[in-house]
Structure 1
Amino acid sequence: MLAQESYAQQASSGSEAATAKPRKLSRKERKELARRATLESAKQQAQPLSEKDREISESFFVDGVKYLLLEDYNKALERLLKAYALNPSNAAINYKIAETNLLSGNYKDATNFANAAVKLDPKNAYYYLLLAQIYTNQKQFDQATKVYTSLIQDVPNSGYYLFNLADLYMAQGKLNEALATFDQAEKQFGPIDEVSFKKQQIYLKQNNLDKALKEGETLISTNPEEIRYVIAQAELYASNNRLPDAIRVAQQALKQDPDNPQARMILADVYRQQGNTPESEKQIKQAFESPALDIDDKVRILVDYIRQLPNPKLEQTALDLAAITTRMHPKEAKAYAVAGDIQTITEHKKDARDTYLKAIHLDNSKFQLWQQVVLIDAELSQTDSLLRHSERALELFPNQASLWFYNGVAHLLNKQPAKGVKSLEYGRKLATDNPELLAQFNTQLGDAYHELKDNAKSDAAYEAALAFDANNAQALNNYSYFLSIRGEKLEKAKEMAAKLVKQYPDNDTYLDTYAWVLYKQKDYTGARQSLERALKTSKDATIFEHYGDVLYQLGDQEKALAQWQRAKAIGGASPFVDRKIKEKKLYE
């Protein structure tokens, strides 16, 4: 009756409550309201409650419940305490005051009023439940346990709350008490699946594997059609190293459902532990072939493989599983994405790029996929693809500095230094919070400005790159080489090239750069020594041509001619090589 009145009252007073902002009562306000309620209660207890006072009390109660529903605990408590002052022996009023105090965080008053509600109406289960909740919120688990015990004993048909009591025991770590309570519940209600699972958890915490397994067998026998219980039992055997039993129960599951992927996953893991790799791979592949194995489960398994790669023993299996995944889920971008990652790690770069592009076709919103594509384009030195893919990616992600970097590199490789500078300069502005990437931009800009013959900007870019990393090999090599070509700052160039050679004594490119700096300084003997070291491993036409130039300067024209001819035969020498050969003279 009171609930119905509260909704009626709410309809007439809703606008007032909607405009009021909920405010938590101060401690002083709560104390004063409680004091007034006590005084009013004392007056009312001295005389019977009149019909008028009963109506007023009910009106305050309905109003209080309305504000409680609106979460205005200040007004709710004010109305409810007025109702209490008129009718303190009303259990419902005590209950609602307790609930309001609980919700507003006043556990002390909540406890007192909830206890009063239980005493006034000891057959109402909801009053016990509120009191138990109040104790639980205060972590007074013993008190909460006593409340549930009283509820079960004193309130008819309340055996269902044995489950709450058992859960409370579990939360306290009182496992034996929890087991006893679950047993009591099963005697009253019969076998219950959820109870068996919880009893299994308790037995496992108690290291009582046999009883845990027995509960599992009970679940299977009482639910023979439920394959999930068979699977759970197989997992329990497997996780406790009872491998033959795990195989037996998993095979039992497959007899019920031959395509069950979970059973095959268990078998795959058990066979792997036993060292039976062929059977393990067979089972996991069959599991992946099952439409019942969710795409997200497959992705999680493949990610686990990725964490173990590179590993020659696992690579082919990972690739096969990735291929099955894309075949079974051809419209899932995540299937192609994870397959591309596996192909990348296993050095199947071209296949990986094609796979990433399939993922992008299905979902082009993932920046990481575009990044992988342009990285592979760069690694494969496929300039046209790098330019095309970086430009497509920039349409979607114009604020990604790395995409501008690769776009700029693509233009440089495509012999378009002006376009390269434009992209690199734009990207450099976006990379100010990434010093390492910024250094890469500066290194590439050094090369780009050199091609544009803007030596000042080229030098400044290299200096900026080396300021971040004094051992930046590309910057050291190109900067020193370009200085040698220009015949400028040769001592600085020699210092940088020598530093590189010291770090990489067998790198033919760096040895050639160092030799050419020495050549420009007219140290032909030193240049010859450096080039002869480079030629032990190099087949580069430029190095052979340089070696010919050095030999010519040292007066050995015949040997110089032989080196020029060799450089021409390899291909890629300077435009002067034909004239050198024809006239047997050095031209620079």
Structure 2
Amino acid sequence: MSSLFQPAGPGQSASPILEKAAAILAPVITVAPCLSEPLYFMAQVLYLSGNFDGAQGNLQRCIELDPEWSDAHLLLAQIYLSQGQYAECSQSLETGVSHNFKMREHPFYLLIKAKVLKQTGKLAEATQMLRMCMSLPEMKRGAATGGKADTLSVSERVSVYLELAELLMLNGEQHEATKIIQDAIHAFRDTPEEIRIVVANADMCLSKGEVEMALSMLRDVKPNQPYYIEVKKKMADIYLKVRKDTKLYIACYRELSEQLPGAHTSLLLGDAYMKIQEVFSCNSDQ
């Protein structure tokens, strides 16, 4: 199944599950190098582990073996997108469509294409893509999937809502964007992805100058909840850029390092101290 999961970031070690999956797949690929599915799953593992070159190599081999396989083209496009290579991402999508025209109806195609269009300034076209995606049966909560490979996970359905809300905001359609966020809150209440919607809602409050309301929403997120790191980073950003409060900015990263000790949060704390030094240096030079 295609996925828009994000790869490991700097300072984050690969999941033991990914390492185990790679150990299982490697001998299969050695024994049967012409089977496309093991290559595809290895590409997923490598991508999520942050090995983009290795993932791309496996996917190119997949596409050589089975040019009509939409999932391989879509994962390759997602890898290019995550690296900001928008021309290559578009080319991968269009190559996939040239081999399998039905790929244009694939929800991942619409989502990735919309992301590329947004990054290249084509907001109206991006919005149209996401509205098409929103109309798909796969976007309905609890929709029967029947094991289809083109179904969307909860995380990916949330991404569609949030991308559409952001596009509407960028286009000045604040009322419509607010409605999309409210629909998302209702649709994904009590799911692990609910926190992402909280963050998006906080961003919307910030755009309206409601800083304290945004911070209040974010403070309710606890360390044991998903996306806690992203929430604390968002709070820190508000304290530094909006409140101009360097102490509370650093306090967010200190709390992160204390609540979730590890290489990644230590790296984030170190980066935060360096950023504060840069701020002080810029202020003293003025």
Distance 2:172 2:270 in 1: 29
SS at match of 1:517: helix
The one-letter code matched in structure 2 to 1:510 is: I
Judge conservation of contact 2:81–2:116 (CA < 8 Å) in 1.
yes
Distance 1:512 1:395 in 2: 41
Distance change in 2, residues 1:535/1:403 (3 Å): same
Distance change in 2, residues 1:487/1:440 (3 Å): same
For 1:199-236, what per-residue CA distance to the aligned partner results, in whole angstroms no more than 9, with x for missing partners?
xxxxxxxxxxxxxxxxxxxxxxxxxxxxxxxxxxxxxx
Residue 166 of structure 2: aligned partner: 481
Residue 239 of structure 2: aligned partner: 548
Distance change in 2, residues 1:448/1:354 (3 Å): farther
The one-letter code matched in structure 2 to 1:521 is: K
Among 414, 425, 447, the residue aligned to 2:83: 414
The one-letter code matched in structure 2 to 1:459 is: T
> 1:101-180 alignment to 2 at 5 Å?
none
Among 160, 163, 175, the residue aligned to 1:491: 175
Distance change in 2, residues 1:354/1:426 (3 Å): same
Distance change in 2, residues 1:425/1:529 (3 Å): farther
- Give the structure with higher Rg (CA): 1
Which sections of structure 1, spanning at least 5 residues, go unmatched? 1-346
Residue 457 of structure 1: aligned partner: 125
TM-score using structure 2 length:
0.65
* Percentage identity across paired residues of the two chains: 10
Residue 37 of structure 2: aligned partner: 368
* Pair 1:509-2:177 in alignment: no
Distance 1:412 1:562 in 2: 35
Among 485, 506, 522, the residue aligned to 2:209: 522
Deviation, structure 1 residue 494? 1.8
The one-letter code matched in structure 2 to 1:394 is: I
Residue 297 of structure 1: aligned partner: none
Distance change in 2, residues 1:355/1:440 (3 Å): same
Q: Which structure features the higher share of helix residues?
A: 1
Distance 2:281 2:161 in 1: 35
TM-score using structure 1 length:
0.34
Runs of 4+ in 1 over 6 A off after TM superposition: 576-584
More relative contact order, 1 or 2 (CA 8 Å, 6+ apart): 2
Residue 107 of structure 2: aligned partner: 439
Deviation, structure 1 residue 431? 5.7
Judge conservation of contact 1:518–1:526 (CA < 8 Å) in 2.
yes
The one-letter code matched in structure 1 to 2:197 is: Y
Distance 1:518 1:474 in 2: 19
Distance change in 2, residues 1:563/1:429 (3 Å): farther
Distance 2:195 2:238 in 1: 12
Distance 2:277 2:86 in 1: 28
SS at match of 1:539: helix
The one-letter code matched in structure 1 to 2:239 is: G
The one-letter code matched in structure 1 to 2:45 is: I
For 1:451-479, what per-residue CA distance to the aligned partner results, in whole angstroms no more than 9, with x for missing partners?
22332332222222212125621111233
For 1:395-442, what per-residue CA distance to the aligned partner results, in whole angstroms no more than 9, with x for missing partners?
22111111100111111122212101211233356565478x711111
* Pair 1:500-2:199 in alignment: no
For 1:3-35, what per-residue CA distance to the aligned partner results, in whole angstroms no more than 9, with x for missing partners?
xxxxxxxxxxxxxxxxxxxxxxxxxxxxxxxxx
Deviation, structure 1 residue 389? 0.9
For 1:531-552, what per-residue CA distance to the aligned partner results, in whole angstroms no more than 9, with x for missing partners?
2224655223641234326862
Judge conservation of contact 1:494–1:518 (CA < 8 Å) in 2.
no
Residue 564 of structure 1: aligned partner: 249
Distance 1:561 1:359 in 2: 53
Q: How many residues align?
A: 229
Judge conservation of contact 1:387–1:411 (CA < 8 Å) in 2.
no
For 1:224-255, what per-residue CA distance to the aligned partner results, in whole angstroms no more than 9, with x for missing partners?
xxxxxxxxxxxxxxxxxxxxxxxxxxxxxxxx
Judge conservation of contact 1:516–1:527 (CA < 8 Å) in 2.
yes
The one-letter code matched in structure 1 to 2:53 is: D
Residue 96 of structure 2: aligned partner: 427
Residue 61 of structure 2: aligned partner: 392
Judge conservation of contact 2:123–2:171 (CA < 8 Å) in 1.
no
The one-letter code matched in structure 2 to 1:353 is: A
> 1:54-133 alignment to 2 at 5 Å?
none
Deviation, structure 1 residue 529? 2.2
Deviation, structure 1 residue 515? 0.6
